[in-house]
Amino acid sequence: MKIGSKLILFYSSLTFSIALFIIVLFYVSTSNYIDSAFNANLCDKAILSAQRNLEKDAVDIRTYQLIEQKYKALLPGAKEIILNDSDRTLLHTTLNKFLTPKQQHNLYSGDPITFTKGNLCGAALYYPVDKGNYIILVTAHNKYGYKIQVHTLYLSSILLLISLAIIILMGKIYSDRILEPLKHILSHLKTVKGNNINVRLKETGNRDELDALVHSLNEMLGRIEEAFKSEKSFVSAASHELNNPLTAIQGECEVTLMKERSKEEYVESLQRISTESQRLSQLIKHLLFLSHHDDDLSSLEQNSINLHDFLSEMAQTTERVLFTDFTDGLFCMQANAYLLKTALQNFLNNAVKYSTKQIDLRLKMYGVHPMIEVEDYGIGIPKEDADQIFQPFFRASNVRGYGGTGVGLALAEKILTLYHAKISLETEQGVHTKFTIVFLS
């Protein structure tokens, strides 16, 4: 079922239920009021009948005329029965015909009681006078009240059906108006394709939830477009970088196979092929790491790593690196040793590549957090390139004569981000480059 139909069904059902409840409550209240008013008239008629028939000699002529006038005006179609308490047989027979035993018991309390017998309504009154005790029964059909009740019921039903029709019609119109921007959004989203991802949706200007949705979708499309462009650039650069060592290997093989070579020439050729193969293998490993989702990398086994021992070992296996520990040497962190070494080794390898001097590797504390510094005193990084060095395959403008693929720092940043590390850079071209890594967790 479509959203518009669901909205119409829900709100129509809700409104119909509320209207039905109100109409039923109104009908019941009206019916009770009509019955109560009619019963009150029956009681008044019984009292007037008693006064008219039993107290004619006890009141003056003017009072009696007033009673007679009220008696004739009130329920002229009513029938009355006057029973003498002395005739017990007739009394019991008549009372049993109209009243229950409980009502007969309550009759002698002095107040008139009302009763119903089929469609007949009535009132009974116990009226003692000097010449005896009497019971007056007044009965009548509530024809006008019944007509009013039936008319009210028919009118309420018709109004309920008309209201339901209006609600459904208005719900249809209003739901179409509400969902029109959503249909517009859906139609435009269908036009978004791989070669047409720069489509943006137009906001309605109502500043409502749909406008917020359109704004969020436009932001999402912008991010997707940037990711798509970055992916295309990544694939293009990766293809180029993979092609270079493959071309070198293929060319070396073709040149070597053109004629017979000496043993030394074959060894030299195989060494060049081995170098390019290692370069290709390293590049593929880096690309695989970059393609991994963060959840995949963070799920790898982690161990407690003593940073002093860890960095000291890396310094010993990397040329020209001097390790200095400014802490107590006991700080440990939870990490995957292979990933952490891969990230930090990329910083050290770059320092060795772009500098001929000593490289400083320092372990310090930044408040309660461990901080690692890698500083070399080589060619430095141009200021205009400093903001882009962590982008995959980006290489600074002053490293054209140096080997490399431009994925090392991007991989290092991806790994260190898993451990909530903040990386900052201080550099001056031709003077030094210092990377500072602070582990904030």
Q: Tens digit of pLDDT for each residue in 113-123? A: 999 988 899 99
Using the 3D structure, point to which of 128, 149, 170 is the last residue of a domain: 149
Q: Average pLDDT, whole number, for the chain?
A: 84
Query: Is-contact 276 252, C-beta < 8 A?
Result: yes
What's 58's domain CATH number?
3.30.450
Q: Give helix 263-291 / helix 209-256 axis angle, nearest 10°.
A: 170
Same domain, 140 and 259: no
What's 393's domain CATH number?
3.30.565.10
* Residue 339 domain-assigned (yes or no): yes
Same domain, 108 and 127: yes
Count of the separate structural domains present in the chain:
3
Q: Tens digit of pLDDT for each residue in 356-367? A: 899 999 999 988
Q: Which domain holds residue 215?
A: 209-291
d(CA 31, CA 121): 14
Same domain, 42 and 129: yes
Per-residue model confidence (pLDDT) at position 83: 92
Same domain, 130 and 233: no
* Residue 326 domain-assigned (yes or no): yes
| Segment 304-329 mean pLDDT | 90
Please name which of 135, 129, 144 lies closest in space to residue 37, comparing C-alpha atoms: 144
Q: Tens digit of pLDDT for each residue in 177-220? A: 777 777 777 777 777 776 667 777 777 676 777 778 778 888 88
Point out which residues pair with 439 in neighbouring strands.
421
Using the 3D structure, point to which of 149, 176, 195 is the last residue of a domain: 149
Q: Tens digit of pLDDT for each residue in 401-438? A: 777 667 778 888 888 888 889 999 999 988 999 999 99
Same domain, 330 and 275: no
What's 237's domain CATH number?
1.10.287.130
Q: Tens digit of pLDDT for each residue in 9-45? A: 887 888 888 888 988 899 999 999 999 999 999 999 9
Q: Which residue has the higher pLDDT, 202 or 231?
A: 202
Least confident of 40-54, 257-271, 295-309, 385-399: 295-309
Residue 286: pLDDT band (50, 70, 90) is low
Same domain, 256 and 304: no
Same domain, 303 and 426: yes
Same domain, 110 and 8: yes
Per-residue model confidence (pLDDT) at position 193: 72
Give the Cβ contact number of residue 292 at 10 Å: 14
Per-residue model confidence (pLDDT) at position 110: 80
Please name which of 279, 206, 274 lies closest in space to residue 244, comparing C-alpha atoms: 279
Q: Which residue has the higher pLDDT, 242 or 52?
A: 52
Same domain, 312 and 428: yes
Give yes or no for residue 138 having a pLDDT over 90: yes
Which two three-digit tokens encode residue 21? 């409840």
Per-residue model confidence (pLDDT) at position 397: 81
The model carries a pTM of 0.48
Using the 3D structure, point to which of 149, 177, 196 is the last residue of a domain: 149
